Amino acid sequence: MPLVISKPLLEHARANHYAVGAFNATNLETVQAIIEAAEAEAAPVIIQISEGAMRYGGLRYLAAIVRAGAADATVPVVLHLDHGSGFEVNMRCLQAGFTSLMYDGSAKPFEENVATTALIVRAAHACGIPVEAELGQVFRVGDAVTAADIQQALTDPDKAAEFVRLTGCDSLAVAVGSVHGMRSQEAQLDQERIRQCALKAGVPLVLHGSSGVPDDAIRAAIENGICKVNVSTAIGAAFCSRLRGQCAESTQEHDIRKLLGPAREEAKERVRQKLRLFGSSGKAGAALDACRTMCSS
């Protein structure tokens, strides 16, 4: 089926207390792994392309791969820009056929974040495309920050409400204790902050850096208002671990399909596990109905 926009999927998830999985892809195999896992779980899914992935694989190449996969899929698939750094990259992705955009102005002053987000929202909404924004800052493993820095960067629920009102964004990524790039599940989430942000912002909330969050904390976060969960590190770690193993076992193998195929299967299994954790398995049909209802209204 054609690509769908993210907004009705996230609104349906919010109303039914589950989260849509949003998985980063960098090549053909990771796109295939994500879509095949979503089909096996009958789950709606979001495929995310970062600017780093674009530099590696090319914007139009990756967009074309996702569109081809979605065309053959029986579940709703969204093509989403992850952590767009400015107006220009968002417009290039809009032109390339992305069905969901994101501007990450979390490191900018509040007023600058508002101004740029609102500009992107205005342009995207003119084309019927929703926009995710970010308020508060989710740091990365290796950043020279202290526990006090992380606490200071958490999303303020009252500011979140003001930000959504001023920008018109469709979903909001919030900083609630997760960290990008964590390989061990040790991050603790501020569940009360999630509840307050969900209550005051009034839009679906997004959790970034989920690979380092324990499963029970993710389940609680979804109950408290998280409607989209981003996953990147966990998939990359599964793919690369299996690929390294295949290369070590088959040192004379020159058929790259025999090396990449098992890695793709490992990534697929990890995506399936995440979809079950998020509660989105079996939701594809109802989510697709929500898309049709919103698009026809």
Q: Spell out the domains of the chain, with CATH numbers in brackets.
A: 6-233+272-296 (3.20.20.70)
pLDDT given at position 68: 98
Greatest pairwise CA separation for the chain in angstroms: 60
CA angle 26, 102, 90 (to 5 degrees): 85
pLDDT given at position 292: 85
CB proximity list for 263: less than 8 A, separation 6 or greater: 29, 239, 240, 242, 243, 246
**Residue 46 CA to its chain's centroid (Å):** 6
pTM: 0.93
Does the CA dihedral 102-106-16-41 come out positive or negative?
positive
Set 82, 156, 170, 190: catalytic member: 82
pLDDT given at position 184: 45
| 82 belongs to the catalytic site | yes
What is the residue-level pLDDT of the chain in tens, covering all 297 positions? 899 999 999 999 999 999 999 999 999 999 999 999 999 999 999 999 999 999 999 999 999 999 999 999 999 999 999 999 999 999 999 999 999 999 999 999 999 999 999 999 999 999 999 999 999 877 665 555 566 667 777 999 999 999 999 999 999 999 988 665 545 455 678 899 999 999 999 999 999 887 778 899 999 999 999 999 999 988 999 999 999 999 999 888 899 999 999 999 999 999 999 999 999 999 999 999 898 887 766
What is d(CA 23, CA 20) in angstroms, rounded to the nearest whole number? 10
